[in-house]
A and B are shown apart, each in its own frame.
Chain A
Amino acid sequence: MSLLQISEPGGRPVRRTDRKRAAGIDLGTTNSLIATDVNGEVRTLADADSAHLLPSAVHYRADGATTVGAAAKAQAAADPANVIVSVKRALGKSLDELEDSGDYRQYRFDSECEPGSPAFVTAAGVRNPVEVSADILKTLVQRAEARTGEAVEGAVITVPAYFNDAQRQQTRHAAELAGIRVLRLLNEPTAAAVAYGLDTQEQGNIIVFDLGGGTFDVSLLSLRKGVFEVLATGGDTALGGDDFDKAVAGWLADQCGLGGMDSIAARDYPAMLQAANRAREALSEAEQAELSWNGSSFTLSAAEFAELAAPLVRRTMLACRRVLRDARMETGAIDNVLLVGGATRMPLIRRAVADYFGREPLQDIDPDRVVAIGAGIQAEVLAGNKPAGDFLLLDVNPLSLGIETMGELVEKIIHRNTSIPVSKSQEFTTFKDGQTAMALHVVQGERELVGECRSLARFSLRGIPPMVAGAAKVKVTFQVDADGLLSVSAEEASTGRKAEVQVKPSYGLDLDQVEQMLKDSHEHARADMSARALREARLEATRLMEAIGAALEVDGELLETAERAAIDQALHALRQAMAEENAARIEERTEQLNHASEGFAERRMNMTVGAALRGESIDAIDERTE
């Protein structure tokens, strides 16, 4: 496309007939929208009833038909098991996680499905969250095609900035399943900033506070000369209007003499949530709201609601604090605060944000549509319809990525809030003599132990030439692209042998767990550090003892008696230290053993490496000609 343009004499602007129909899609927990170019301006499109918001509800009916949107949502209370709502929060999660949350109690899950990819059993058949999301996306695309009379050739789909790799992958799969060519996954707060920034031409540091139906993001961006640079991002992919509804539903259950949230029966659950939701939204306009349940009426005051909501509001404020800290910025340096998402209509959220940042948030943008419009603008650029010179987005990676190393430790390779695209390499070495394969385990999270981070993928590197332990140099490269998706490749330095994986959504990262992981990571940081030091020390010691043990067996007779005695004594001392929990002592004795065996190791290393290298080139040739 761009090559054709360049070859046209005079570099004429894109002709109307060369334009590709592109769209921006906000796939929301509660509501979804599609935006596209209408007479030179990107706008959201309405359905036949002039509604721009498509409720993210899908009804799988007994007659096999599927309805999406308002009609489906209207059936949620009457046919709870077959109307799937808030499916976005199920993306990237395992069956256990969905069941334990209680949020999906009205559904039946397929007993045959893999624990890592749950699926709903509906009257129209089994559907997994990716398929349900695809049905919503299809409805939006049909709306755009009906309105414009053109096929949508590509779309930018938005995701919460704090979505992890598995959730991003599943969103992409849903779009692919809906037959959409994905131009880009774009972070929701970044999309909002684009729509706002291009509209107002404002410069400076802005906070985008996006509280939707199911997810919460907060991003700090610096806007200057058409460049939108995300400085830091934070949030919680399991915090939104739904959680405020749950708090009110729990209160209602208490008032009814039931024992709180857990006591609400599965089939009453959607109806009770809807009652709670109506009352909560009414409280945005009034000082109190009426709820009725089973013929009884109850009154919820704004003050009572504020008390129920306080822990949730606090979580949003903590995320703001962390974002500022990650960017090393004070609230005084913020020029404007942008509220996005329907749940920011709650007065108590507006107040909390205004108090925290010491300024009134902007009032004049439509919190529902701004994300879709920003995505639509970016889609125009990526499709080649709009000159790319207009603006540029520079985004970041929300969660740290790392690799499992020996002793169940995580070696962080890409830290959170690093600008993307990013590529980082790390060298690993073999642990045993003659080792020819290596398994790599990629994880995501902030903790130092593998078990406390989320596993993303495992892959193995084969064909490492046999060398003495530590001689093979395996260079592992992590690449996060502009969609925030990770790919990992590995290469042995001396042979250039490669292995590559695309990270597969084996199971989704539990979002409560991410939040928990982050919290735990703060609480246990200290314990982690010392546990880590001890593991590392033991590992180093074991590695050295094994190497020396093996060497002594083969070449032991090369040693002089005094040299041998010194090594034996150092070995003995280290073994004793290993029995204790003192990292410093182990390190010290490892060092002594190292010292005692220096001369021997060097002589032997030279010999062995020489031999191994000769052997290696033959092996490598053999494998390549296989």
Chain B
Amino acid sequence: MLSIADNYFSQFELPVGYDIDLDRLNGQFRELQTIVHPDRYAAAEDEQRLQAIKLSSYLNEAYETLKSPLRRAGYLLQMQGVDIEQVEQSDLDPELLFEQLRLRESLAELPKDESALERLEELHHATSAKLAQRQREFADFLAEASLGQARKLFHELQFLTKLQAEIEKAEDAIV
């Protein structure tokens, strides 16, 4: 049905790298699902159907990994043999930690009503901008194979993404 490639990038015939053509990724994904999706094998033998479920699940996992900016970053590091599970104190810039703490505190201190929306919007905006900037830096470090730096940035991206989710939750709780 489908031959499994060495890594998710080559599975979708994309160059390995942080900057990714999302349209192309989506196009390739759809094309491959058209081949392996279990609905294509509704009338086939059990064994073939099971194989289809397996391959289709694998493609979904590969697709979701590359689609998400954070998961893509982690995956690229893992491809280089970098352990991203263990976070060491020294990986985190104390200044960054402090800033995170401050942001979280200001989030907690906001009133729980509509008057907070404007501030939340600002925070969301600022975090998005910072995420975008850090993503560019990450791409650069990765391109020049500064893996240590890239790993630090990855953890920073994790923090920022989490913060972003918290801002969104705070907004959802109000509207």
Residues of chain A whose beta carbon lies under 8 Å from any beta carbon of chain B: 1-3, 183-184, 222, 224-225, 227, 229, 318, 321-322, 325, 381-384, 388, 392-394, 418-424, 479, 481-482, 519, 521-523, 525-526
Contacts and interface: CB of A to CB of B under 8 A. Distances in A.
B44 A3 contact: yes
B33 A321 contact: no
Q: 5 nearest interchain CB pairs?
A: A522-B173, A1-B43, A423-B57, A419-B60, A382-B42
B108 interface: yes
Given A2-B44, A382-B42, A394-B33, A422 B172 contact: no
A301 B172 CA distance: 32
B34 A392 contact: yes
Nearest to B52: A421
Contacts, number: 84
Given A229-B30, A422-B57, A384 B172 contact: no
B43 A393 contact: no
B172 A382 contact: no
A421 B60 contact: yes
A285 to B, nearest CB: 32
Classify the interface of chain A: helix, strand, loop or mixed.
mixed
Contacts of B39: 184, 381-382, 388, 392-393, 482
B65 to A, nearest CB: 11
Nearest to A418: B64
Contact of B34 (A227, A419, A519): A227
B interface secondary structure, majority: helix
Contacts of B57: 421-423, 479
Contacts of B30: 224-225, 227, 229, 392, 394
Interface in B45-74: 45, 53-54, 56-58, 60-61, 63-64
A607 B26 CA distance: 51
A9 B33 CA distance: 28
B42 A381 contact: yes
Contacts of A229: 26, 30
A321 B175 contact: yes
A526 B172 contact: no
Contact of A525 (B53, B63, B166): B166
B37 interface: yes
B115 to A, nearest CB: 17
A227 B33 contact: yes
A3 B173 CA distance: 54
A418 B53 CA distance: 15
A521 B44 CA distance: 43
Contacts of B56: 421
Contacts of B58: 423
A318 B42 CA distance: 37
Given A1-B43, A227-B34, A522-B170, 11 more contacts: A3-B44, A3-B45, A229-B26, A382-B39, A384-B43, A481-B53, A522-B169, A522-B172, A522-B173, A525-B173, A526-B108
